[in-house]
Amino acid sequence: MKEQLISLIEQALSSLAADGQLPADLQADIKIDRTRDKQHGDLASNIALTLAKRAGRNPRELAGMICDALPDADFIRDTDIAGPGFINFFLSDSSSQAVVKRVLEAGYSYGRSEAGAGQRVQVEYVSANPTGPLHVGHGRGAAVGDSLCRLMAATGWEVASEFYYNDAGAQISNLALSVQARANGWEPGHAQWPEDGYRGEYIAEVAKAYMAGETIDAEDQHVTGAADPGDIEAIRRFAVAYLRREQDLDLKAFGVHFDVYFLESSLYEIGAVDATVARLIDGGHTYEADGALWLRTTTFGDDKDRVMRKQDGNYTYFLPDVAYHLNKWERGFARVVNEQGADHHSTVTRVRAGLQALDKGVPEGWPDYVLHQMVTVMRDGEEVKLSKRAGSYVTLRDLIDEVGRDATRYFLVARAPTSQITFDIDLALSQSNDNPVYYIQYAHARACSVMRKLEDQGWQWQPEEALAHLDSLTEEHERALLKRLDQYPELVAAAARNFEPHNIANYLRELAGDFHTWYNAHKMLVDDSDLRNARVALSQAVRQVTANGLDLLGVSAPESM
RNA sequence: GCGCCUGUAGCUCAGUUGGAUAGAGCAUGCGCCUUCUAAGCGCACGGUCGAGGGUUCGAAUCCUUCCAGGCGCGCCA
């Protein structure tokens, strides 16, 4: 539609130029926008405003000339010049009504596109250390990351989701020491309690299970507690397996699935870490200082060089991370999106710099990052501090249990990732019925309910029949809905392109609002069968788009509430 | 001190990549169920878009200087 309109304006401009009314060499970048206010029609162009100066005309005069020169088109009902010189276009009724047919014929596919067809994208998200349960911040990562996967898939990409487990670093050693201390019967504050040990109660549970000889059956590993407080290696393996299982259960409860669980330790096993170091040294990007091996990341835009290998011979977190991303590159992903908390933003420059230093042909801006800001949790009017070491925080499981999976997911994905958000548990609980997610789901349930009512009355709904009478849809509220439905496909494309799933949530809220308003103002099951058919068709189209949108958020679309 | 993110209604947040009179939910007040689900609808109230300067036909949006908050700045991950 927009393309057709742009073409019409191009024709108008060139015919004006041919008549000598406009300079022949006028370059025009024609943009068509959807209008915000229905008084401004359906679509609008600011072309007269942008060309006015170069054309030597005032904008409204130029807009008038363009309108007069515009070829006739049956999808345009009317044009208007408004404000400082906007050209507003009013679509013909049949043109705007046609969206109902498009939606019902496409069904689940409405809004989906092929922009990324034939290309593979990997989305890495959550990637929490197996040192404790998932908290609300991980929940935001899970909600956003999963929705990103769905958006990329909806725009044609072949998507692989991945969870990276840091099971080889100092945090894990710290975890093992903490569990060992608990296994010895010590508590935080005890003289021999490890410095920076994890103090949470769950550590005691891990130790108890280890001492009881429990077996952890996770998807890819089976570990039995050795019940020996002296065997730190056995404790490490058991604790990691135990906490990974807990996290898997959290993610399952949240409805999030990963295609690949990638272990940091596997990078060492396949020699990827050593190979990466060797290549960086060969490339001349490293130097030794203070007994450590450094990478000159400042060559690639970092503000200071980074240690790769510590004095004690171990690698820093950073080095295996570079090896990991090289591994991703070599797996052939055209795009990689890393969804992480904003506290990791300093790794962005470092990882990209490391990849450049490897000189493997990785593009400079690769990979993409989506960094979500922190989630503050309020309970009883006070901020709950998230500290694993202190052991006090709100787990994702708590939230799912208390406010429900759909509401939790919706809340965490409905805001721009760049926005810091406050999750007020008391509010979410006390006003659970006022949560926007129920408002949207209710629109879906209502549309389903109308259909059930039809069947109860013995009506056989024939889609072909209904679509033949869409010209009955002429009420103001119906026009608003038609316009809203029409806008959905480009909204999905933009949300995927910009990594902004929250726009889907906002759209659904508005669509539901339009639907509830219409529902309240006009009966659907009227005696006039043509009108009834048309309205039920519109209702079904709203239902379909609502279901499609909720699916992109990973939120359910109930048929009754 | 440096880097990244943010500052919009009492509160929580949108704002379609620079467009027209800045929007929604919650909260507050007043209305609407004999009628397809009231988990709903309508009306009202509520704003110097953190502040100043700049760019242009046009700025919440871009540039700049301040102010305020969050996060990061480790041979932790």
Chain B nucleotides reached by a protein CB under 7 Å: 2-7, 12-17, 19-21, 24-27, 35-37, 39-42, 57-58, 69-77
CA-to-CA dists, residue A181 to A133, A175, A451, angstroms: 19, 10, 62
Burial class of residue A357 (count of CB atoms within 10 Å of its CB; 0-12, 13-18, 19+): buried
Q: Residue A158 forms beta bridges with which residues? A: A120
Residue A391 has pLDDT above 60, yes or no: no
Residue A182 has pLDDT above 50, yes or no: yes
Rounded CA–C1' distance between A45 and B59, in angstroms: 19
Q: What is the pLDDT of residue A389?
A: 45
Q: Which residues of A59-94 are buried (b: 16+ CB within 10 A; e: fewer)?
A: bbebbbbbbebbeeeebbbebebbeebbbbbbbeee
**A260-263 and A158-165: which strand pairing?**
parallel
Strand B: which residues 404-433 of A lie within 7 A (CB)?
414-416, 418-422, 424, 427, 431, 433
Identify the residue with better confidence: A460 or A97: A97
Q: What is the pLDDT of residue A301?
A: 85
Q: How would residue A398 be classed by pLDDT, with cut points 50, 70 and 90?
A: confident
Q: What is the pLDDT of residue A328?
A: 97
Q: How far apart are CA A135 and CA A115, in angstroms?
A: 35
Q: What is the pLDDT of residue A430?
A: 64
Name the nucleotide nearest A33; use CA and C1'. Answer: B16
3-state secondary structure (DSSP) of residue A424: strand
CB A99 within 8 A of CB A478: no
Helix/strand/coil percent split, chain A, to 5: 55, 15, 30
| Lowest mean pLDDT segment, chosen from A86-90, A212-216, A419-423 | A419-423
Residue A392 has pLDDT above 60, yes or no: no
Identify the residue with better confidence: A37 or A386: A37
Rounded CA–C1' distance between A97 and B49, in angstroms: 37
Strand B: which residues 52-81 of A lie within 7 A (CB)?
52-53, 59
Establish whether the CB of A524 is closer than 7 Å to any nucleic acid atom in strand B: yes
Establish whether the CB of A291 is closer than 7 Å to any nucleic acid atom in strand B: yes
Q: How far apart are CA A109 and CA A474, in angstroms?
A: 26
3-state secondary structure (DSSP) of residue A321: helix
Burial class of residue A34 (count of CB atoms within 10 Å of its CB; 0-12, 13-18, 19+): middle
Name the nucleotide nearest A371; use CA and C1'. Answer: B5
Q: How far apart are CA A161 and CA A125, in angstroms?
A: 8
Name the nucleotide nearest A309; use CA and C1'. Answer: B75
Residue % of chain A over a pLDDT of 70: 97
Q: How would residue A427 be classed by pLDDT, with cut points 50, 70 and 90?
A: confident
Mean residue pLDDT across chain A: 91
Name the nucleotide nearest A346; use CA and C1'. Answer: B72
Residue A482: Cβ within 10 Å count: 24
Residue A390 has pLDDT above 70, yes or no: no
Q: What is the pLDDT of residue A7?
A: 92
What does the pLDDT look like over A246-300, one tens digit per residue? 999 999 999 999 999 999 999 999 999 999 999 999 999 999 999 999 999 999 9
Rounded CA–C1' distance between A9 and B57, in angstroms: 20
**A368-372 and A382-384: which strand pairing?**
unpaired
What does the pLDDT look like over A501-560, one tens digit per residue? 999 999 999 999 999 999 999 999 898 989 999 999 999 999 999 999 999 999 999 999
Residue A432 has pLDDT above 80, yes or no: no
Q: How far apart are CA A525 and CA A523, in angstroms?
A: 6
Q: Return the amino acid letter for A75.
A: F
Residue A337 has pLDDT above 60, yes or no: yes
CB A417 within 8 A of CB A526: no
Mean pLDDT of A103-129: 95
Rounded CA–C1' distance between A32 and B37, in angstroms: 40
- For tokens 């029949």, the residue is A465
Rounded CA–C1' distance between A162 and B11, in angstroms: 37
Alpha helices in A283-378 (DSSP H): 318-330, 346-358
Establish whether the CB of A527 is closer than 7 Å to any nucleic acid atom in strand B: no
Rounded CA–C1' distance between A434 and B30, in angstroms: 20
CA-to-CA dists, residue A292 to A68, A204, A306, A350, angstroms: 75, 37, 10, 17
Establish whether the CB of A449 is closer than 7 Å to any nucleic acid atom in strand B: yes
Q: Which protein residue's Cα is closest to nucleotide B40 at C1'?
A: A516
Burial class of residue A233 (count of CB atoms within 10 Å of its CB; 0-12, 13-18, 19+): exposed
CB A324 within 8 A of CB A267: yes
Establish whether the CB of A446 is closer than 7 Å to any nucleic acid atom in strand B: yes
Establish whether the CB of A500 is closer than 7 Å to any nucleic acid atom in strand B: yes
Structure-block tokens of residue A304 = 């200071």
Residue A143: Cβ within 10 Å count: 28
Q: How would residue A393 be classed by pLDDT, with cut points 50, 70 and 90?
A: low
Name the nucleotide nearest A47; use CA and C1'. Answer: B19
Residue A11 has pLDDT above 60, yes or no: yes
Strand B: which residues 295-324 of A lie within 7 A (CB)?
303-304, 306-307, 310-312, 314, 316-318
CB A60 within 8 A of CB A48: yes
* Of A316, A314, A326, nearest in space to A295 by CA: A316
